[in-house]
Amino acid sequence: MSSIDAGFACLIAAFVAFAYGAAASIWGGRNADRRWVDSARRGVYAAAILLTLCVVVLEAAFLRSDFSVALVADHSSTTTPTLYKMTALWGSQGGSILLWAWVLSIASSGVLFATRHKHREVVPWATAVLCGLGIFFTGLMLLAGGANPFDRLSPVPAEGLGLNPLLRHPAMAIHPPMLYSGYVLFSIPFAFAIGALVARRLDTSWIRSTRRFGLLAWIFLSVGILLGAGWSYVELGWGGYWGWDPVENASLMPWLVGTAFLHSIMVQERRGMLKVWNVSLICVTFALSLLGTFLVRSGILQSIHAFGESTVGTPLLVLIALVLAGSTALIISRLGDLRAERRVESMASREAVFLVNNVLLIGLAFIIFYGTFFPLIAEAVTGERSTLAAPWFDRYVTPLAILVVLFTGIGPLLAWRQISAGRALRLFGPPVAFAAVVLVALIAFTDSASEPGALIMFTFAAFALAGLLGEFVRGATAQNALTGDGWALSLGRVVVRNRRRYGGYTVHVGIILAFVSIAASSSFQNTDDVRMLPGDSTTVGDYELTYVRPEAYRDFDEDRLTFGSVVEVRRDGELVETLTPSRNYYSSSSTGTVRSFFEGEATSEVGRSGGAAEDFWTAMRPDLTEPAIENFIATADRRIDEATIPEVLPDPETPGGAEAMRGIAEARSEFQGLAITNLEERFENGEIPVDFRINVNPLVIWIWVGGAIGVIGGLIAAWPTASAKRRRVSDVYAARLAKDLGRA
């Protein structure tokens, strides 16, 4: 018995556990028999333990390079660094589905444990939904072809294929689990929404128990998106962070609708409104999360990430259709129970702004959805597949994004129900004045006026940031008046005492910074493509780039050839920084030819010199198709073949033949090495021209700084109040009210 067999057995048992959980919870729900619901919950716990064992078994196989496991052979090798051996698990179809199922089981166990004494009527159905999803994903691994992480290989290869070099980056290593955790965690509020709909318990209790899971989902999704964009910016020789590619859009859509959901539930918690909105938003968010998982593996849309057809595409699509159809039917049948307890009283209230916010975010998600699926829509309508490129997305997303920034500033300045008349001037006056000053300054001192969209974005952002600053100041001042502790301490105290509000404000600050930098870096970018030989210089924006000298070296451990460069970046004649952009070539095979080096994977090492104000970015690409070089490679390969391959190939089956084949391979390897060394010398002599792409991106670093601030804000908002403290607060009020009661 091997551990792999044990792991596979655990996967089967997990499937059975989920199946049991679904049946038992439905039975317990219909017959109001608590024992079966408890039993079903234990089934989920069991599945979580079993799936954890599956993950452990596979990670162990990766760590000991057990190439009898197909997953390990395809995505790892003995030379792969340990970190990437462990993260290679989710680089495959089977591994990533296992990750989905595993996170689902852990999160489900968590929420079911936390609610084991609560929501008597809702929990059975929520459990059933979560188990149903568990059945689907474990079932995919067991039944869909090519998705079983425990598939074995026979005969066992001696070496694995290794990880795609493009993925050997820390950001790419954790990007998938971050995204998947985001997607999966949205299933928790979704399951409880369905449970609440089925059980007709549509007060806020389902929201209160799952709010934190929704917030965590949002945080993970944000981190995943930021990592993907960051990796693209620093690793790919393109210098962009977002291309409106279908796979990128697939993660952004649930993020947008999830954001709307998190805001909208606040309204239901306080004012009992937007109930239909909330159940609809979470169902759409979850459907989009599934869609995100689906798009990456379906092959239905042309994308630079399109990973081709796979066998799990159709079942996922069926699940999405089921989720949408089922939720819609349920919501419509429960419309009576979803009637709002109150109406929006004033347009100048927080509830009204949140409603507008819902609409804006849904609008954005819709535009992106439409643009992403347009090829299919066009094919259905005209018979021709057409695509919409990035400019179309930019054109329609920008105005809505600008409005979103405006409302992230307006919302915090309003109160629930309405603010007092006359307060509006005091609250809105300073931020509006500040924004006006910023607008004038930008027009006068910069060329922002050349990009009206960006200019409006900056102005609205200034308004919003000033408003948020005012909120922090007012809150700290009021706290200070209470305790007289000093400004910094008061600020800390008011944030901690009102984590949801101030955490939310922090998220807004982060989002605004990110939007401003997106506007700046896309509207005011300077870019150029230049071919240079050593000694050449070029100017881009305020910078001068000099190609000082080429460098070439080989890394035999990683089987990699690097053609690099030393470049000097100057500004106003002063040396800013010396960068070393380079290009890595990974040999595609062991055929011993020179060309094989350049037919495998190639990655770019980007040279970056960045500051708060702008980023200088450059990538290089040697041109090996120069006729002289092309000739050299072709001739070298021909000579290697002539020198090493005999008239009659020895028979590898015979022991003498196998020895001879090994000898040939070694000889070829040696000649290949000599030829490569020659190429390196030629490169270092400056015989090979290099194409440099140079970008000067203003404010781009603030995308990630803003993103990090947003994530921190989310964590602040999610931070649990110690229940003792909560009870104390309630008791204080209860005491006061009891006094009133006594008097009433």
Partner 1 sequence: MDPDRKRKIRLVVALSVAVLLATALVWTSFNASTEAKSPSELLAATPAGAVDAYGKVVTEETLPDGSREFVIADPEDTSQTVPVEYEGQVPDPFREGRDVIVTGLMVDGTLVAEKDSLITKCPSKFSDEAEDDPNIVIDESL
Partner 2 sequence: MEVALIALFVIAAVALFVSIPLRPGAESSKRIEDPEGAELEARKESKYREIRDAELDREQGKLSQADWARADAELRREAIEILREIDALEERK
Binding-site partner at residue 208 among partner 2, partner 1, none, CB < 5 to 8 Å by type: partner 2
Closest contact distance (angstroms) between CB of 140 and partner 2 is 18
Question: Which of 587, 558, 581 shows the shortest CA–CA distance to 568?
Answer: 581
**CA–CA distance, 726 with 713 (Å, rounded to integer):** 21
Among 22, 50, 171, 362, contact with partner 2 (rule: CB under 8 A): 50
Decide if residue 119 touches partner 2 (CB under 8 A).
Answer: yes
Closest contact distance (angstroms) between CB of 471 and partner 2 is 6
User: 608 phi and psi, to 5 degrees?
Assistant: -130, 140
Strand, coil or helix: 314: helix
Closest contact distance (angstroms) between CB of 104 and partner 2 is 17
What dihedral angle (degrees, nearest 10) is formed by the CA atoms of 700, 706, 707, 710?
-170
Q: Which stretch binds partner 1 (CB under 8 A): 32-40, 280-288, 298-306, 709-717?
A: 298-306
Kindly write out the interface string for residues 74-93 of this chain, putting x where it contacts partner 1 by CB under 8 A and - elsewhere.
Answer: x----------------xxx
Closest contact distance (angstroms) between CB of 303 and partner 1 is 8
Is there a contact between 100 and 179 (Cβ–Cβ < 8 Å)? no
Decide if residue 420 touches partner 2 (CB under 8 A).
Answer: yes
Q: Which stretch binds partner 1 (CB under 8 A): 219-227, 371-379, 457-465, 716-724?
A: 371-379
Decide if residue 423 touches partner 2 (CB under 8 A).
Answer: yes
Question: Which of 128, 148, 112 shows the shortest CA–CA distance to 12?
Answer: 148
In angstroms, the Cα distances linking 224 to 94, 200, 217, 708 are: 20, 35, 11, 12
Vertex 726: Cα angle to 725 and 730 (nearest 5): 115
Question: Which of 281, 119, 264, 132 shows the shortest CA–CA distance to 202?
Answer: 119
Kindly write out the interface string for residues 399-418 of this chain, putting x where it contacts partner 2 by CB under 8 A and - elsewhere.
Answer: --------------xxxxx-
**CA–CA distance, 744 with 723 (Å, rounded to integer):** 30
Determine the angle formed by the axes of helices 313-333 and 123-143, rounding to 10 degrees: 160
Binding-site partner at residue 27 among partner 1, partner 2, none, CB < 5 to 8 Å by type: none
Is there a contact between 635 and 593 (Cβ–Cβ < 8 Å)? no
Nearer to partner 1, 480 or 593 (CB): 593
What's the number of CA atoms in the CB half-sphere (13 Å) around residue 462? Answer: 18
Q: Which stretch binds partner 1 (CB under 8 A): 178-186, 378-386, 609-617, 735-743?
A: 378-386
Question: Which of 410, 452, 457 shows the shortest CA–CA distance to 432?
Answer: 410
Decide if residue 631 touches partner 1 (CB under 8 A).
Answer: no
Decide if residue 559 touches partner 1 (CB under 8 A).
Answer: no
Site for partner 2 in 79-118 (CB under 8 A): 116-118
Nearer to partner 1, 152 or 500 (CB): 152
CB atoms within 10 A of CB 721: 14
Binding-site partner at residue 378 among partner 2, partner 1, none, CB < 5 to 8 Å by type: partner 1
Provide the phi-psi class of 415: left if phi over 0, else alpha when psi is between -120 and 50, else beta: beta
Among all chains, which residue has been given the structure tokens 């008061």? Answer: 490
Decide if residue 303 touches partner 1 (CB under 8 A).
Answer: yes
Site for partner 1 in 660-679 (CB under 8 A): none
Binding-site partner at residue 43 among partner 2, partner 1, none, CB < 5 to 8 Å by type: partner 2
Binding-site partner at residue 34 among partner 2, partner 1, none, CB < 5 to 8 Å by type: partner 2
**CA–CA distance, 668 with 632 (Å, rounded to integer):** 16
Kindly write out the interface string for residues 463-502 of this chain, putting x where it contacts partner 2 by CB under 8 A and - elsewhere.
Answer: --------x--xx--xx------------------x--x-
Decide if residue 427 touches partner 2 (CB under 8 A).
Answer: yes
**CA–CA distance, 526 with 524 (Å, rounded to integer):** 7
Kindly write out the interface string for residues 335-354 of this chain, putting x where it contacts partner 1 by CB under 8 A and - elsewhere.
Answer: --------xx----------
| DSSP conformation letters of 37-69 | HHHHHHHHHHHHHHHHHHHHHHHHHHHTT-TTB
Among 27, 60, 65, 157, contact with partner 1 (rule: CB under 8 A): 157
Among 238, 432, 708, 721, contact with partner 1 (rule: CB under 8 A): 238
**CA–CA distance, 646 with 640 (Å, rounded to integer):** 11
CB atoms within 10 A of CB 536: 15
Closest contact distance (angstroms) between CB of 438 and partner 1 is 29
Kindly write out the interface string for residues 10-39 of this chain, putting x where it contacts partner 2 by CB under 8 A and - elsewhere.
Answer: x-xx--xx--x---x---------xxx-xx
β-sheet bridge partners, residue 693 = 529, 619
CB neighbour burial string for 157-187, b if at least 16 within 10 angstroms, e if fewer: eeebebbebebbbebbbbbbbbbbbbbbbbb
Nearer to partner 1, 356 or 705 (CB): 356
Decide if residue 420 touches partner 1 (CB under 8 A).
Answer: no
Q: Which stretch binds partner 1 (CB under 8 A): 69-77, 181-189, 318-326, 516-524?
A: 69-77
Decide if residue 29 touches partner 1 (CB under 8 A).
Answer: no
Nearer to partner 1, 359 or 489 (CB): 359
Nearer to partner 1, 92 or 108 (CB): 92
Nearer to partner 1, 627 or 720 (CB): 627
Among 110, 139, 237, 650, contact with partner 1 (rule: CB under 8 A): 237
Q: Which stretch binds partner 1 (CB under 8 A): 274-282, 304-312, 487-495, 561-569?
A: 304-312
Retrieve residue 54's tokens: 């599956």
Strand, coil or helix: 650: coil
Helix (H) or strand (E) run with residue 705 in it: helix 701-718
**CA–CA distance, 377 with 357 (Å, rounded to integer):** 28
Retrieve residue 512's tokens: 């605004």
Among 174, 378, 489, 566, contact with partner 1 (rule: CB under 8 A): 378
Determine the angle formed by the axes of helices 423-445 and 452-483, rounding to 10 degrees: 140
**CA–CA distance, 737 with 731 (Å, rounded to integer):** 10
Decide if residue 688 touches partner 1 (CB under 8 A).
Answer: no
Retrieve residue 244's tokens: 């409106």
Is there a contact between 44 and 127 (Cβ–Cβ < 8 Å)? yes
Vertex 240: Cα angle to 221 and 610 (nearest 5): 95
Decide if residue 528 touches partner 1 (CB under 8 A).
Answer: no
**CA–CA distance, 206 with 193 (Å, rounded to integer):** 7
Among 599, 605, 641, 687, contact with partner 1 (rule: CB under 8 A): 599
Binding-site partner at residue 92 among partner 2, partner 1, none, CB < 5 to 8 Å by type: partner 1
Decide if residue 499 touches partner 1 (CB under 8 A).
Answer: no
- List residues binding partner 2 (CB under 8 A): 1, 5-6, 8-10, 12-13, 16-17, 20, 24, 34-36, 38-40, 42-43, 45-46, 50, 116-121, 201, 203-205, 208, 269-272, 413-417, 419-420, 422-423, 426-427, 471, 474-475, 478-479, 498, 501, 729-730, 733-734, 737, 740-741, 744
- List residues binding partner 1 (CB under 8 A): 8, 70, 73-74, 91-93, 146, 148, 151-155, 157, 161, 164, 166, 236-238, 297, 302-308, 310, 343-344, 359, 363, 366-367, 370-371, 374-375, 378, 382, 384-389, 391-392, 396, 529, 531, 598-599, 601-604, 621, 623, 625-626, 630, 691, 693
